[in-house]
Amino acid sequence: MTLLDGKKTSEAIQNEIAAEVAELKANGYKTPHLAAVLVGNDGGSVTYVNNKVLACEKVGFSSSLIRYEDTVTEAELLQKIKELNEDEEIDGFIVQLPLPKHIDSEKVIESIDPRKDVDGFHPTNVGRMVAGLPAYLPATPAGILQLLERYQIETKGKHCVVIGRSNIVGSPMSILMAKAAYPGNATVTLCHRNTVDLANYTRQADIIIAAVGQPGLVTADMVKDGAVVIDVGTTRVPDATRKAGYRLRGDVDFDSVAEKCSFITPVPGGVGPLTIAMLLKNTLKAAKQEVYA
């Protein structure tokens, strides 16, 4: 069994980005600038956004963090997005999800200029991805592709089972794995919470990508020997032995499943670090105007 080290892979990608940024600056180009909008004080979101800001510093980006209380109105938030769309200094920006219930997330996503949508959630970028056109890919699926590629995992003709159909991970992941490219060219089955007899599908899978946020859902009896298992889940579960009072647990029961796998991601330290690296990669593309030239 080989552990797919997302932290190590993320550091390699960030080092590559940093070298490219240094070259851009040396040639007189502006510093790439990523902005993040954070609404409320959700612990996971705050940590994630802070990590993004630190990652920007590491690769030589400029970054801006715009914070609002969770009482902010939808109109105020949409006005700020309009300003960011029009700000020529900002190459790309993200609005951290989830948003408070009184704000329509879809309306917010659709209000972002697709050329600055480095999260890859805007319908224009989703449509371009489906059509095989240059697009900003959602960061988590893009990170998984990097992991498969850098560990030289064969995907052509393999049966890939994706568990979860969110617009952020599951749905785009299933599309990308089916594309006629590497990593991809797989036969893909998309499962979700209404799938009957999930284990029947996962036991046939050469590659399992679990992204449902249900701790320990995938157990050893659901995985065939030699499978590749990618665990996207990061759920906080109570743990009195930890200083924070919780620990992160994935969708895969790691201890029982790992011994059956050829490759597996840990939680934490697997897919998570790559999500930030790919967000930076999208921002660099935006700064260079590679996607919407």
Catalytic residue among 113, 117, 119, 231: 119
Quickly count: other Cβ atoms within 10 Å of residue 235's Cβ.
17
Residue 289 known to be catalytic: no
Residue 96 known to be catalytic: yes
b/e 256-289 (16+ beta carbons within 10 angstroms → b): ebbebbebbbbbebbbbbbbbbbbbbbbbbbbee
How are beta strands 246-249 and 235-238 bridged, if at all? antiparallel
Q: What are phi and psi of 63, to 5 degrees?
A: -145, 150
Catalytic residue among 5, 80, 91, 96: 96
Using CA atoms, how far residue 154 sits from 140, 172, 206, in Å, is 19, 19, 10
Rounded Cα distance, 15 and 67, in Å: 28
Task: Please compute, for residue 186, the number of CA atoms within 13 A of its CA located in the half-sphere on the CB side.
Answer: 26
Catalytic residue among 52, 80, 281, 285: 52
3-state secondary structure 84-152: HHHCCCCCEEEECCCCCCCCCHHHHHHHCCHHHECCCCCHHHHHHHHHCCCCCCCHHHHHHHHHHHHCC
- As a residue count, the chain comes to 293
Q: What are phi and psi of 131, to 5 degrees?
A: -80, -5
Residue 117 known to be catalytic: no
By annotation, the residues acting in catalysis are 52, 96, 119
